[in-house]
Structure formats: C-alpha cells, structure tokens
Structure 1
Amino acid sequence: MEQPRLVPIMLDNYKPLRELVFESLREAILLGRLKPGERLMEVQLAEEMGVSRTPVREAIRKLELDGFVIMVPRKGAYVAGITLKDIADVFEVRAALEGMAAGLAAERITDEELDQLERSLVQIRESQSGDNINAVVEGDTAFHDIIYQASRNQQLVQIITHLREQIQRFRMTSLSQPGRSKFALDEHKKIVEAISDRDVELARVLAREHIENAEQSLLNAVRKEEQSND
C-alpha cells in the first residue's frame, strides 16, 4: 500500500510544534513524497498534518533557508529541484572534505571509534536485508559522522555540518538507486580497513572515490527523472 505524503503530527514534549512540522515536511521531501517542483499549499499541508497554518508557514520559511524550498513571487512556495550544477558543486566540495577527513581519521582515530565504524557496517547491512531505506540512510550518515569526529578537526566538522541538509537530500536519492546501497557498503568496508591499517593515503583515495561514485549514482537518477518527464 502506498504511503501517505504526510501523517498527522504526534506531539513530542521535547520539541516545539513548528519543529515537528518542519521535520515532517523535510522528510517528505527527502523521501520524494513531496516532489521537486510541487507547490506547497499551506492549507492542504496543515489539514494533512492536523495543525494550523502558522507552524506550516514557519516550517516552509526554514525549509527555504535550508535550500529545500524556493519562493516564487506572487505564486508561492515550491519544492526546490535538484539541478546537475547543484550536485556538481556540493560533491566537489564533499569529495575533498571526505578525503581529508578519512586521511586524518587514519592518523587519529581511537580504538573505540574503530569499533563504532565496524558496528555501523553491521547496522547498514541489517537495514539492507530488511529493505529499510530510512535505516540505511541513518546508518550511512552515522558512518560518515564517526569519521568526521575521528578527524579531530573541528573546522572540517563545521563545514560538513553546514552542507548537511543538502548532503542528506542527495544521500537519500543516491542510496535509493538499485544496487547503490550494496556497493556503498563495500566501499565503506574498504575505507574502514584503510583507516584501521593507518594507511592515510589509501583512506583518502578510497573516501574520495566513494563520494565520486555516489555522485555518479545521483546524476544517473536525475537524468533518468528528466528523461521520464520529457
């Protein structure tokens, strides 16, 4: 059965309502339930989530700041599309940063962090066997976060964090492509082996190749979507 675009908001005592609405809309965009170019109608979205228009309006403004939504004068809010230039720009920066992070991690990682990397590989494999793309993406995110922290370079971590929202959107699309998740896990294993062996140069090269492969997967998906719309 097809999943609904949005589900009614369930109150969480630890988060304000506007944050819950924002997270729900962002997830719907990441998962493709709200598609690029789709107009975001405040009244309709509010009805689907069972809230008033105010938190929806606030969430849309935040989504615009994060690059998920574009505002068109006199027309309203639309889900931002993914252009080939957007992909090239983000992945060019990300490949350099991921390579640097992996190289630094090979020098500085702790035994505890190595164990965390190994555990994240197991989590991703289990999520794949359960065909749970959300869990796969969470595991992939956790894997890279461990490497960032192991780099012991806070400036690098901050730059990566600034790109996080766009990376997450691209990550979801890329890992959803047939076969990509399995190849990504194999690439992760090789990166962990290089880091564990303290091979700085190999870790750097493998991390860059991993990101370049993810970029190619995403480009193929976008081109396929463009062809289907022609």
Structure 2
Amino acid sequence: MSSVSLSAVAYQRILQCMLDHSLSGDRRISESELARKLGISRTPIREAICRLESEGFLYQVVGSGTYIARPDRKRLLDAFDVREALECQAVVRATKRMSVKERTELKLQCDNMHAAISALRDSGEKVMTGDALKQFLVSDLKFHLLLLRAANNQFAMKIVTDSRIRDYVFGDSTHERTLRHLAWVWLLHARVSREVQRKNARKAQYWMRKHIRQSRNDALVALQKSRTTETPRQPAPPELTNLLQSVCEELAVIGTPASESLE
C-alpha cells in the first residue's frame, strides 16, 4: 500500500476514534501510541494528524503536543450559517425535483422519528436513549440527506456531511433528548415534509430555516452547558457513523474529508 493510501487510512481511523470518543477531551495525541494502536507506521500517522489540524479537528501547543480541538462558539455559528444557506436552497430544489417514491421515503423518516418519540413517551423515561435514540438520529440524518440528494448538489451534500461529522466529534449535537425537545424537532421535520408533499417550495424553505435556527440555538445551549458542567459527550451511534460512511463513499469523487470512508 502506498504512503498516500496509508495516510488516508490513518486519517479515517483517527477520525473514527474521535467519533466514538475513544480519543476525546484534552488528551494529548501521541504519534507513537496511535501507530501502535492502529498498526500503521508513524509517517502516515503524522501526515494524518497534519491534515486533521488543517481541518480544525486538532491543534498544537508549542512545547506540549497535539490535542483534540474543543467546541468553539464561532465555529458552531459559522457551521450553522453554512448549513442554513445550503439546506434552505436545497429544499427548494428538492421540492421541485423529488419523485413520488422520494417523497414517500421522506415521510417515512418522519414517521420513524415519531415512532421513536412515542416509544419514549410510553416508556415513562425522561430522556431518550438506546435503540429509540439510534432510530431517531438515523432517521433525522436520512431525512436531510434525502433532500440534499434530490437537490442534486454533491458539494452541498459533502459540506453538510462534514458538518455532521464535526457535530459528533465536538459534541455540538449532545442535547438533552427530552420528550419536549424531540417532539419539537419532529414537528419541524414534519412541516418541511408536508410542504414538500404539497410541492410548496417557499413554505418548505420557511420551515427548514426555522428548524436549522432552532437546532443552532439548541447547540449553543448545549455548548454553554458543557462549559459550566461536566457533562460527558456521548459517542455517535455506530448506525450513524455507518450512514456517514456510505455517504462518504458516494461522494468519493470530490476527494476531501467527507469523501473518504470511515472504517
């Protein structure tokens, strides 16, 4: 295997370790330790670390070492600004382009989210966890990917996928998944879906913008909470990382972070 290929493999595996939080917090990144753990020589590990630094996942402290970047308010706001611009435009195009089959699939993802919420309500638990949470989060992601794919803009899809990866690495999506919070999230998705079914692009865009802005506000609250309390960040469920992996493979032609599979 070439040095370039080994560097790509090292990049994928280090990023996966950050997604599942086996690498997290203020822990110093050790090239030698990663080389032993991943079974890859230090040169590709070093190249992968440099790439992750350039993408904002890692940072260096002179005389100390390399560390995983902490959640940052400006980065979060910038990411949501980009998502709002891209996804609000994408939903307009998708509304005009989606087939009956795609519209049915979009509604199915909303129904799956609702089923997860119903399971939480019936359980009597205060916060969604386990299989119900996996179902909710995967259906949420599939909903957005359906719209982006229907809009037929691979670059927008790649950027949003990159943003989702960063959410799970930095913990920006670690909200308290209460019934009230999730019901509101589902309702906004359902309203987007309803207007897509009606082929009303203007209203679909309105509800998408409202959803993304609400998600931004929720992420800001979660970020503030993480700075004042020791709330552990939850790893991304394997089902989510597998879905992100399939999108990465689909977008491999673009050749940037989200364009390489996460093993």
Superposed displacement of residue 147, structure 1 = 0.5
Please list the CA deviations of residues 90-129 of structure 1 after superposition, one character each: whole Å capped at 9, or x if unmatched: 1122112212211222222111221232343355567776
Deviates more, 1:198-207 or 1:96-105: 96-105
The reply on whether 1:93 has 2:94 as its aligned counterpart is: no
CA contact (8 A) 1:36 1:79 kept: yes
Which residue in 2 is equivalent to 1:184?
185
Which residue in 1 is equivalent to 2:163?
166
Please list the CA deviations of residues 15-50 of structure 1 after superposition, one character each: whole Å capped at 9, or x if unmatched: x55444433322332344433443211222333334
TM-align CA RMSD: 2.9
Query: Secondary structure at the residue paired with 2:158?
Result: helix
Matches of 2:60 and 2:116, distance apart in 1: 36
CA 1:164–1:227: 2 relative to 1, 3 Å: same
Matches of 2:25 and 2:91, distance apart in 1: 33
Aligned length: 211
Matches of 2:112 and 2:35, distance apart in 1: 35
CA contact (8 A) 2:29 2:68 kept: yes
Matches of 1:18 and 1:135, distance apart in 2: 33
Task: State the one-letter code of the partner of 2:36.
Answer: E
Superposed displacement of residue 86, structure 1 = 0.9
Which residue in 1 is equivalent to 2:18?
29
Residue identity (%) = 24
Which residue in 2 is equivalent to 1:194?
195
Matches of 2:87 and 2:112, distance apart in 1: 21
Superposed displacement of residue 73, structure 1 = 3.8
Query: Secondary structure at the residue paired with 1:145?
Result: helix
Q: Which runs of 5+ in 1 are unaligned?
A: 1-15
User: What is the TM-score with the length of structure 1 in the denominator?
Assistant: 0.75
Deviates more, 1:72-81 or 1:100-109: 72-81
Matches of 1:80 and 1:149, distance apart in 2: 30
Matches of 1:22 and 1:126, distance apart in 2: 36
Matches of 2:13 and 2:113, distance apart in 1: 23
CA 1:135–1:31: 2 relative to 1, 3 Å: farther
Matches of 1:79 and 1:125, distance apart in 2: 35
CA 1:201–1:116: 2 relative to 1, 3 Å: same
Matches of 2:22 and 2:80, distance apart in 1: 24
CA 1:75–1:127: 2 relative to 1, 3 Å: farther
The reply on whether 1:75 has 2:76 as its aligned counterpart is: no
Query: Secondary structure at the residue paired with 1:78?
Result: strand
Query: Secondary structure at the residue paired with 1:77?
Result: strand
Please list the CA deviations of residues 40-83 of structure 1 after superposition, one character each: whole Å capped at 9, or x if unmatched: 11222333334443443233223223321123344332111221
Which residue in 1 is equivalent to 2:106?
117
Which residue in 1 is equivalent to 2:227?
226
Which residue in 1 is equivalent to 2:95?
106
Superposed displacement of residue 131, structure 1 = 1.9
Which residue in 1 is equivalent to 2:130?
131
Deviates more, 1:120-129 or 1:163-172: 120-129
Task: State the one-letter code of the partner of 1:213.
Answer: Q
CA contact (8 A) 1:94 1:160 kept: no
Q: Which runs of 5+ in 2 are unaligned?
A: 120-128, 231-263
CA contact (8 A) 2:106 2:146 kept: yes
